[in-house]
Structure 1
Amino acid sequence: MVDELIEQAASRLGVTDLTSLRDGGQKVVRAGRRGDELVVLKVIEVRAPQQQQVLERARREVGLLGEVDDLRLVGLRSPIIGLGPDEHCPDGVAWLEERLDGHDLDELFGSAWSGDDVTDLLVGLSEALQILHGRAVVHRDLSPGNVRRRSSGVWTLMDPGYAKHLAASSITGIYQPGTRGFRSPEHLPGATPDTYSDVYAVGILAYIAATTYFPVDHRGSEDEYYERLRDSAVVPVSHHRPDLPAEISLIIDTCLHRQPARRYLDATELLAALTAAAVRP
C-alpha cells in the first residue's frame, strides 16, 4: 500500500529520481527532483482508527509551513493532496517541501562544541522558534533530526508534524509527542507541552552540544525515563564545561529548570536573555 501511495504522489506532484531519506511510523520521506528543483516528498498513510487525527495533523503541518516564508523554517513546495481512489476519504496524503543543504544537528554532535558555537545554536534556535511562538504554535518535537544547519549557517526547523496550535483543540489524545531523550517535563502523561517546553528542548540540545551528555538520562524503560524527567535535577552545565562563559551556562541551566515558571516563557524571552547577555559570537 505504501509503495503505491508513493508512486501516486510522485506522479501527481511531478517528482522524479526518488531516493529514501527516512521512514517513521506512518510517514515516509523521499528525496527527489521536480524539474530543476531538489525537493522532499512526504507521504503519510492514513489508517483507522486514528484517521481523522492523522489527517488533521498533516493539514496543520502543511498549513503552518504555508504561512511562513523564512529560511529558519523549511519551505513548502506544494499543497497537500489526498491519495487513493477517494480524495475525500483518502488512503494517504502527500506534499512537497524544499530540500535543504547542510547537515542535520544529529550529524554535528559527537564532540564538545566551543562556547561560540553553542551560543550560535542557542540564538539560531531561539530565532527559529520565535516564528512559531509568535503564531501561538509549539513545535513539541525539537530533536536533532528536526533541526538543520544550512551551509549558510542558518539554523532551520523541520517537521513540525506534532506542532500544537495553542488556540486549537488537541489532536494527539493521550499520546505525548516528542522524541525520547528530547522531551520536557510537560511531555509526561497528564501534562501539556507549551512554549516553555520548546525552551526546555533548546536547553537539551545546547547541553549536549556543550558537553556531549544528555541532561536527563533517557536509558532504561519509559517509566524510568519519565521518573528521572519528573524528579531529577539537571547537573549544571558548568560541572562538565567550567570553561564556558558564565552567561551561557546560566541560560542553558535556566532553560532546563524542571519548573516551567523558572524557565524562559518562550523563544522571545530566551532571545532577549541572550541579547541582554551580549553573548552572540
Structure 2
Amino acid sequence: MGPYRIEARLGAGGMGQVFLGRSRSGRAVAVKVVHPELAADADFRRRFAREIALARTVSGFFTAGVVDADPEGRPPWLATAYVPGLSLEEAVAEHGPWSERDVLVLGAGLAEALESIHAVGVVHRDLKPSNVLLAADGPRVIDFGVSVAVEGARLTRTGMAVGTPGFISPEQLTGAVVGPASDVFCLGAVLAFTATGTGPFGGGSWQGLWYRTVHEEPDLAALPARLRGLVERCLDKRPEARPSATALLDELAESVTDGGTLAALYTDSRWLPAPVAHAVRTCLLY
C-alpha cells in the first residue's frame, strides 16, 4: 500500500481494515485502508483529505500520529505510528479493572493527548477503550482526525452518528454542536470503564445505552471517591459544564506526580498494573 509492504492484518474498524506495514527502511506503521463503500463517496474523500491534513499537525506524545496518507488512493489509506501493545479494552477484559491511582495516571496521559488534539482544531469523536493503546512509556490515543469524515458519510447513508454506545456524548446523539467537550465526556466514560470493567451507562442494546446517555445519570457507585468526582464532572450532560482537557491534565498531574513530573511516571511499563505491564513487555518481544 503506497510505499509500505503489508505484513499482517491487525483488525478492522468503522473506517476500514488495519494492517501492519513496513517502510523501505524497516519502520513499522499501522496502515488503515478505507472501506470500498466509503471510498466510493466523493464527499467522504473530501472530508477525509481535510481531516487528515489537520491530523498530521497533531504532535502530542500520547498520540499515535499520522505519518503518511493518500486520500486520493484507490483505495484511500493512511499510515500512523505503530504502537506494539494491548488496547485498553483488551487489558481490562484480560486482566480486570485498575486501581484508582492507575486510572488517574492513565487519565493524565489521555488528557494530555486530548489537549494536543484539540489544540489544532481536531475533535476525536470516538474516544473509547479500543482506541487507547498501552505502550511501555504511556498510553496512545489512535484514530483521531478520521471520525468526522466517517460520521458525515454515515449520516448521509443511515442518519446515525459515529460513536460507540456507552462511549459517546449526548450532543453527538441529539445532533447538537460537537466540540472538545464531547471528547471529555468520552474520556470520563473510558476512565469509569477502566476502574470497573463496565461503562457508566451499563450494557444491553445500543438503543438502551443511547437513551440512558441522553436522559439518565451514569452509575458511578463503584468508583472510589476521588475518581468519582472527576468522572462526574466529565459526564455532565451540559458540554459547557465539563472541564477542558487542559484543566483535567492540570488536576490529574497534581494528584499523581507527588511533586515530580508526568514524564517520570511513564517509564519502563511501571505506570501500568503489573499483569498488564507484563503483557505489554511481552508484545515488545515480537
TM-score, length-normalised on structure 1? 0.79
Superposition pairs of residues 248-267 of structure 1, within 5 angstroms: 248-264=227-243, 266-267=244-245
Shift of the 128–21 alpha-carbon distance from structure 1 to 2, 3 Å rule, reads: same
5+ long unaligned stretches in structure 2: 259-286
1:228/1:279 CA distance change after superposition, 3 Å: same
Q: Does 1:268 align with 2:246?
A: yes
- Residue of structure 2 aligned with 1:147, choices 121, 126, 132: 132
* Counterparts in 2 of 1:59 and 1:217: CA distance versus 1, 3 Å: same
Q: 1:63 aligns with which of 45, 49, 53?
A: 53
Change (3 A) 1:259 1:79: closer
SS where residue 41 of structure 1 aligns? Answer: strand
Q: C-alpha distance in 1, partners of 2:247/2:8?
A: 40
Q: Give the 3 Å change call, closer, same or farther, for CA 280–256 of structure 1 in structure 2.
A: farther
CA distance in 2, matches of 1:158, 1:114: 24
Question: How far apart, CA to CA, are the structure 2 residues paired with 1:20 and 1:71?
Answer: 25
Q: 1:231 to 1:250 in 2, by over 3 A?
A: same
Among 77, 80, 84, the alignment partner of 2:67 is: 77
Per-residue deviation at 1:50?
6.8
Higher relative contact order (CA 8 A, sep 6+): 2
Deviates more, 1:32-41 or 1:45-54: 45-54
Deviation (angstroms), 1:191: 2.2
Kindly tell me: are residues 253 and 175 of structure 1, through their superposed partners in 2, closer, same or farther at Cα, counting changes over 3 Å?
A: same
1:16 lines up with 2:16 in the alignment: no
- The answer to whether the aligner puts 1:206 opposite 2:191 as a matched pair is yes
Deviation at 1:55, TM superposition (A): 0.8
SS at 1:109 equivalent: helix
Which protein has the bigger helix share? 2
Aligned-pair identity (%): 27
Offset of 1:46 from its aligned partner? Answer: 4.8
Distance 1:176 1:20 in 2: 27
Q: Does 1:226 align with 2:210?
A: yes
Where do residues 37-48 of structure 1 align in structure 2 (5 Å cutoff)?
A: 37-47=27-37
Runs of 4+ in 1 over 6 A off after TM superposition: none
Task: Report how many aligned residue pairs link the two structures.
Answer: 249
Kindly state the Cα deviation for residue 48 of structure 1 after the two structures are TM-superposed: 7.4
Match of 1:134? 119
Provide Cα deviations, 1:3-37, integer angstroms capped at 9, x if missing partner. xxxxxxx2xx2322421112234512111222311
